[in-house]
Structure 1
Amino acid sequence: MKKSLLHLFFFLLLMSNLSAQEYVAFEKPIESTLIGNRSFTNENGSECTLESKSIIKILGRGYGEYKGKYYFKNDKCSGFISSVWFAAGEGFKEQNIKVNPKIYEINNARALKEIEEERIEKKIESQKCSYITNEIDVFDKQRIIRTKFEFISEDLAIQLYAKGSKKKIVFGASLELGCASPYKTNRSKVMVMLENKDIITFYHSGKLDCGEFELWGNVSNSEITRLTKSPIKAIKITGTDYYDTIEKFEWSTYFIDKLKCFNPK
């Protein structure tokens, strides 16, 4: 197991061990004096009231939603209390400092857990097929599929389109490239380089488009298989006037995740 994964494992283990608690315990309870009359809701849901100058025992410091509060108990009440509500007894400052490393570990573990949960959620979401159109044409009885545009980098979004057995990948680029041209003398193209060094080239098969740059490239079943073999390393887009190469991707596994959407269940 890699070192980073090992750290994550121990942090998540720590979180599971602490999930039943809501505070980090002091080494010993600190007897303190309540300031003013206070009403509390006990852990069992019952209401209780403590008079000013009642003695309470501070057992530890809260975390998460109880950040900045302290867990206390006495014969009548228990719960979380702000530090401004009590006069801390001897040893409180030292105990408060000693729990700092444990509080840090808990907060760090929670952050790692949230990051991992977000990563898993994004992975699940990335593998869903988000169709704008997925229907059978009433005239020719062919299925028409169109997915929504999804960004794989800051300047490039991709859409999948199919009618019957004809499949296209649409590249929408927010770059200064000129027009998307289908003419052989100046035909626009997109070259996709994968991490395994395979290169697949798509030529514009749509109409001349000099508005927002959209290149419609035909894709064969064999090319679909090749595109799903490896993440994207680079994409070069050539318009009528300029070309640009993209090498930084937020979603380099787009084709691996999404080309199955050509075949809806």
Structure 2
Amino acid sequence: MRKTILFFFLIFGVTNSQNNSTTKMKANVFNTNLAGKEIICQINKGKEIEIIEITDTEYVKVKYKRCIGYVARITIIETEFIQTEIDKILNAQAEEEKQKKEREQKRLDSIAKRKEMLKKREKFRQDSIKEQKKKEIKEKIRARKLKDSIAEVERIKERRSRCHYTQNEVDKFTNKIRKVTEYYEIAEHSVYLENSVDIRLARNGNYKFIYFYIPEGLGCASPYNKNDSYVIVRLKNNVKVKFYHEDDIDCSSDAFMLVSSLTTAHINKLKSSPIEAIRFLGSESYYDVENINYENFFIDKLSCLNKN
């Protein structure tokens, strides 16, 4: 029985000794290792203490006699046990930082993926607009061959008396009105008679837009410098209305398209008189259109954006 008790104490002593350390200077014992800590006792230099817990790299929870609290790590001798526990804490912190960076990288990758998706979606939309424009031009070429017939006269009359849309809807979630008219021929091109000078109108909620198109390479339509590209509409009452490009830069070699917002001030001026002429200015040259064959376009069609 005495041998068994002696063996127990030998084992207990070896097990506990690895958790012991010695103060290498006078150490303050605090009630916590967090902010607002207070001194609850002091331990003189050279005193053996029991290590209870190590939860951070700055403070160690210890027991000395009846005093239990936290001492600064620099005040005690660094043992193999303490270093091992500190290494565990540092490794855990490193792993946590690694996982944090991985989560952040996944977030950034997700954002980049969404941006790429939106970019592709916008390209598809732009390609659809251009494809629609090509289809409309082909339709106009076919229709123009019937220009002298009674049917063509009636078609023009009907086209000018009604609104024609490629999109006309109300968003079910936001109740925003979305309207996009077809391109309306304003004038024939003076050289390429199979092509025409066209205008379309659009609305998205409370914002209104106007699209000008001419089959003439004038350089770029750019939103960066207002003096590089614009369209001026001169009315018969000598009022001039100027529009600047507000869409992505477009440098087509065989056509010039300018997209601009359409303000209330623009609308009031445009409805005041028929069209006299239009000037298209690109980054390289300009083109004046004076043979207007639909002078009352704005008077007739601006109201298409207001109808529900």
- Normalising by structure 1, what TM-score? 0.53
Structure 1 runs of 4+ with >4 Å offset: 114-121
Aligned identity (percent) is 36
Task: Give 1:208 shift.
Answer: 0.2
Is residue 174 of structure 1 aligned with residue 215 of structure 2?
yes
State the shift of 1:249 in Å.
1.1
Q: What is the Cα deviation at residue 216 of structure 1?
A: 0.7
Contact 1:187 1:204 in 2 (8 A): no
1:187/1:203 contact within 8 Å kept: no
Residue in 2 that maps onto 1:247: 290
Match of 2:234 among 193, 207, 213: 193
Write the letter of the residue equivalent to 2:203: A
Residues matched between the structures, number: 152
Is 1:205 the counterpart of 2:239? The answer is: no
Q: Secondary structure at the match of 2:266?
A: helix
Structure ranking higher on relative contact order (CA contacts 8 Å, 6+ apart): 1
Contact 2:226 2:244 in 1 (8 A): no
User: Pairwise CA RMSD of aligned residues?
Assistant: 2.2
How far apart are the structure 2 equivalents of 1:121 and 1:173? 22
Structure 2 alignment gaps of length 5 or more: 1-147, 190-196
1:153 aligns with 2:187: yes
Residue 159 of structure 2: aligned partner: 125
Aligned match of 2:303: 260
Instruction: Call closer, same or farther: CA 1:115–1:254 in 2, change over 3 Å.
Output: same
One-letter identity of the residue aligned with 2:212: F
- How far apart in 2 are the matches of 1:239 and 1:253? 25
Higher-Rg structure is: 2
**Residue number in structure 2 paired with 1:48:** none
Give per-residue Cα distances to partners, 1:132-157, cap 9 Å, x unaligned: 00112345431111001111111310
More helix by share: 2
Does 220-229 or 230-239 show the bigger shift? 220-229
Paired AA for residue 205 in structure 2: G
The residue type equivalent to 1:123 in the other structure is K
Q: Separation in 1 of the partners of 2:276 and 2:171?
A: 37
1:242 partner letter: S
Aligned partners of 1:145 and 1:161 also within 8 Å: yes
CA 141–158 in structure 1, closer or farther in 2 if over 3 Å, else same: same
State whether structure 2 residue 262 is matched by structure 1 residue 219. Answer: yes
Describe the superposition over 1:89-144 as per-residue Cα deviations: whole angstroms up to 9, x where unpaired: xxxxxxxxxxxxxxxxxxxxxxxxx9999767633430210000011234543111
| Alpha-carbon shift at residue 219 of structure 1 (Å) | 1.3
Q: Given that residues 165 and 180 in structure 2 are in contact (C-alpha distance below 8 angstroms), is that contact kept between their aligned partners in structure 1?
A: yes
In structure 2, what residue type is equivalent to 1:157?
Answer: D
Matches of 1:223 and 1:185, distance apart in 2: 17
Give the structure with the higher percent strand: 1
How much has 1:252 moved relative to structure 2? 1.2
